[in-house]
Chains A and B, each alone.
Chain A
Amino acid sequence: MQASLFNTSPGKARITSELRSLWAIVRREWIIFTRYPSWIIALFIWPLIFPMMYIFTARALSGPDGSGLDVFIQNTGANEFIGYIIVGTTVWMWQNIVLWDVGFSLRNEQMRGTLESNWLSPAWRFSHLLGPTGPQIVSMGMFIGITALEFGLLFGVRLNGSVWMIVLMMLAAIPAIYGLGFAFASLVITIKEASAFVYLVRGLVMIFCGITFPISLLPEWMQEVAKWLPQTYLIHGMRAAAFSNAGLPELIPDVIPLLLFGAFWLAVGYSTFLWMERRARQTGAIGQY
């Protein structure tokens, strides 16, 4: 048998093989997620204790006779502060977890020493970033559901709105939140240590997006900054959907900016990935850590 000098690659990318490889990555990530028992803490403990610290501060600010609460209701238009705070802190936690999980997914592969070999497989390389996103969205859905359940049971927080409108707001926010995660993941591969950048991005959300207060209390320049952050619209829309019984017409002013931000961040995320991929091939950065 005569061996050809120009062997063709045995890997032939087809839609089905691409989907199969994407599914394999999704499955791998799910197995890793459930293999460490600390996921129980991540899903059951954090949704409760993180907002609780702000809630207890709000209780203290209300005073023993609840006099501060009247001022809060007057300033925010909300009926009570627990649900108001939960929505803000949950959105913050969502973005934070995406930055750590999706943002560091490629970096974790790099640290494990498997990124370079995976990169050589004839699969669509963006699958390596899309794959971890699937289990992340599922676990995040569970996280938000458990948050609602825990605060409903323990603090008596009740919805005054449609679950479907809340789901709509979350779906509208997915492209923006995960697009930012994709852009981040590609940058992390290039700059390696990026914890400080996670702190910066989540810090912006914490300061400007009104996680525990209405943004009308911010100075004007800070309100202008807040308008450029998609989480501001998500928090506002989710609060309206969950506690003010807002319908689609009332939510449209929040949904449209969210979708526009989503298109922008997905484009930025994918372009950054392509740039990183090209740069990594030129500099050999994929195998370095």
Chain B
Amino acid sequence: MQLTNLSQPSLKTQVRALFIIARKDWKVFWRYPLNAVSHVLQPIIWVTPVYFMGKAFSTNGQALGFAAYTGSGDYMSFILLGTALSNFVTTVFWGMGFALKQDMDSGVLESNWLAPISRLLILVGRTLASLLTTIITSMTMLAIASLLFGFKPTGNVIAAILAVIPMLIGLYGFGFAFAAIVLMMREANTMVDVSSFLVQGLSGANFPIKSLPSWLIPVSLALPVTYGFDAVRGFLLKTNTLLPLHIEIMVIIGTMFLMLWFGAWFFYRTERRIRTLGTLGQH
């Protein structure tokens, strides 16, 4: 007897699957409106102590020490932009790593894995809705924060957005590798929390990396997100950048390809091992 496979994967079915995963997450997110409010308010709460701390270091509203590092004494615009960008880092980390753990815990990971679509596509799908919600909540956060603390972008918005795109795509590569580690360790909460906090912190979400202790600067420079944050600030706030802007853009694009390749390679390699061990259904 000859068995034929009922599934006929095509580009159209893959895109449909991606859309369905994203739609499900979109529905779940808006089903809890308090969470959406929390997404907007949390970053504002986190930067409030920095706002007042900045006042403790300022004379007549001017943070001259900060200006010596960045070329701009407007530390709040610098930090608010970093906070908005780091929301996307958080989205990719939690969207991929934690979503897998949630599927493990609720017992649907194994059945999802049997679906005839690319497994990387499942991971991408889990972040699509949250990327969209992050854009909405980050814009709202910036609007509220500009009223409370002042946010004064004076540069080229289009160029800044164009610099964000390759940084985000590169982050997906990072997320694939991270998801592989979650599959292996079967633990996500602490790992996601600590890793995303460290990546955001060391890539200079809240401070110019030049102010880090000298032994930490190489770590920071090794993170591609650092150049993304720096370039966006350079375009939008006209701050001093680590490298000339065109070189930073080349670094971001180069690392985007490198991270995508490495993330996918590491994910498939780990996933094959997990299937061999038969631990996919365990948590």
A interface residue numbers (CB < 8 A to B): 36, 38, 41-42, 45-46, 49-50, 52-54, 56-69, 71-72, 75-76, 88, 193, 195-196, 199, 203, 206-207, 210-214, 217-218
Give the Cβ gap from A66 to chain B, nearest Cβ, in Å.
8
Q: Which of A45, A61, A199 contacts B75 (CB 8 A)?
A: A61
Q: Is the CB of B66 within 8 A of A60?
A: yes
Q: A49-B198, A212-B50 are in contact. Are A61 and B190 (CB under 8 A)?
A: no
Chain B residues in 8 Å Cβ range of A52: 201
Q: Is the CB of A54 within 8 A of B49?
A: yes
Give the Cβ gap from A186 to chain B, nearest Cβ, in Å.
20
Chain B residues in 8 Å Cβ range of A193: 32
Q: Which of B35, B67, B207 contacts A57 (CB 8 A)?
A: B207
B-side interface size class: 35 or more
CA distance A36 to B185 in the complex (A): 12
Interface on chain A toward B: helix, strand, loop, or mixed SS? Answer: helix
For residue B68, which residue of chain A has the nearest CB?
A: A63
**Residues of chain B in range 162-180 having any CB-CB distance to chain A below 8 Å:** none
Best-buried of A42, A60, A65, A76 by chain B (most CB within 10 Å): A60
B interface residue numbers (CB < 8 A to A): 32, 34-35, 37-38, 41-42, 45-46, 48-50, 52-59, 63-70, 75, 79, 187, 189-191, 194, 197-198, 201, 206-208, 210-212
Q: Is the CB of A56 within 8 A of B211?
A: yes
CA distance A72 to B55 in the complex (A): 9
Give the Cβ gap from B139 to chain A, nearest Cβ, in Å.
20
Q: A196-B38, A199-B42, A203-B45 are in contact. Are A59 and B194 (CB under 8 A)?
A: no
Q: Is the CB of A212 within 8 A of B208?
A: no
Q: Is the CB of B63 within 8 A of A203?
A: no
Since A57-B50, A57-B53, A203-B45 are in contact, a sample of 8 more A-B pairs with Cβ atoms closer than 8 Å, ordered by chain A residue number, is A52-B201, A54-B50, A61-B65, A196-B35, A206-B45, A206-B49, A212-B52, A214-B56
Q: A64-B68, A68-B66 are in contact. Are A213 and B206 (CB under 8 A)?
A: no
Q: Is the CB of B69 within 8 A of A63?
A: yes
For residue A40, which residue of chain B has the nearest CB?
A: B190
Q: Is the CB of B49 within 8 A of A199?
A: no
Q: Is the CB of A49 within 8 A of B46?
A: no
Q: Which of A45, A56, A72 contacts B57 (CB 8 A)?
A: A72
Q: Is the CB of A71 within 8 A of B211?
A: no
